[in-house]
Amino acid sequence: MEIRHLRYFAAVARHLNFTAAADSLGVAQPPLSQQIRDLEAEIGTPLFERTTRRVALTRAGEDFLKQALAILERAETAVQRARAIGAGTAGILNVGLTGSVLTGPLGRAIQQFALNYPNVDLRIHEMSPDRQVTALKSGQTDVSFLRCPPQDAEIASELAWRESVRVVLPKGHPLAARKVTLANLRNESFVFLRLEDSLFAKHLWQCCFEAGYAPRVTHQTIESTSLTSLVAAGLGIAIIPEFVSKLAHPDVVYRPIAGQPISADVHALSTGANNPLAHQFITLVQTLSGKET
């Protein structure tokens, strides 16, 4: 039994006339009659009562029609959904990220993407950088957003948006009203993202090292948005991505770092698989980042 048998049966049941059903299907009447006979033979019972004057459904035919119509509807839904997924207008998109990148264009992109593609199930997974890479490789996520992406032959990386950094100082700090360079921070106590979890923290450590010193890290946290609160509590100073600094705090001052620029650029990572939704989401993020930066 094939889908066409169900389509032919449904057409005859609708018209209760083989000639009219054949016309609606665009087939000749004799082959249509043969297809219905073949279907009845396979099922093992008549589906139609045929006389010289009329065609009517048997009780078995009436019940079979309900099931056949449901199958045809599901088949059509499957076809339409497959086409939509192939065209990138439906499906599931799994996005991996750390919470700090939501303060940039990504948060707006998530909102806009949901409006643009209502038939897409957009799923957000907050996870550490190492877990993001593992999730991409395993297929758990389709795209991830990271600062300082790792060099990995299995991962494709492209710039999502450019972002600089700010130093977070307690109000009243001697550097709060001065031009700040990385070298000026040599004798400060730092609060850092946890080095074992953050490629960005390792990048900052390397920048300090190239400026001639190893930063004295007194406290570590797992989330960029917590650094400002730790600075406000008097536990040290911090260097944070520019967009995170837009979360105002009354007890700190944000200052740019002069001299050698420190990058907090965010990259979109994927495995390069043929996923139109991932490509469209990355493009939207890049478009919105051009409007916000």
Q: Are 281 and 120 in contact (CB under 8 A)?
A: no
β-pair partners for 281: none
- For 104, the enclosing helix (H) or strand (E) is none
* pLDDT > 90: percent of the chain: 66
What's the whole-model pTM score?
Answer: 0.71
User: Band of the pLDDT at 224, cuts 50, 70, 90?
Assistant: confident
C-alpha–C-alpha distance, residues 225 and 220, integer Å: 12
pLDDT digits (tens, 9 = 90+) for 227-244: 999 999 999 999 999 988
**Residue 291 clears pLDDT 60, i.e. is over it:** no
Q: What is the pLDDT of residue 210?
A: 92
What torsion do the CA atoms of 69, 91, 113, 96 make, to the nearest 10 degrees? 150
User: Band of the pLDDT at 151, cuts 50, 70, 90?
Assistant: confident
Residue ranges of domains in the chain, CATH in brackets:
3-87 (1.10.10.10), 91-162+265-292 (3.40.190.10), 165-258 (3.40.190.10)
Looking up tokens 């060099």 gives 151
Distances in whole angstroms, Cα of residue 113 to Cα of each of 118, 119, 279: 8, 10, 12
Q: What is the pLDDT of residue 293?
A: 45
In the 8-state DSSP scheme, what is residue 185? G
C-alpha–C-alpha distance, residues 252 and 256, integer Å: 13
C-alpha–C-alpha distance, residues 223 and 227, integer Å: 7
* Stretch 107-124: mean pLDDT: 92
How many CB atoms sit inside 10 A of residue 111's CB? Answer: 11
User: Band of the pLDDT at 111, cuts 50, 70, 90?
Assistant: very high
pLDDT digits (tens, 9 = 90+) for 156-213: 999 999 999 999 999 999 999 889 999 999 999 999 998 888 888 999 999 999 999 9
User: Band of the pLDDT at 145, cuts 50, 70, 90?
Assistant: very high
Q: What is the pLDDT of residue 290?
A: 82
Burial per residue of 169-208, b for 16 or more beta-carbon CB atoms within 10 angstroms, e otherwise: bbeebebeeeebebebbeebebbbbeeebbbbbbbbbebb
pLDDT digits (tens, 9 = 90+) for 250-269: 999 999 999 877 889 999 99
Residue 147: strand, helix, or coil: strand
| Higher-pLDDT residue of 211, 272 | 211
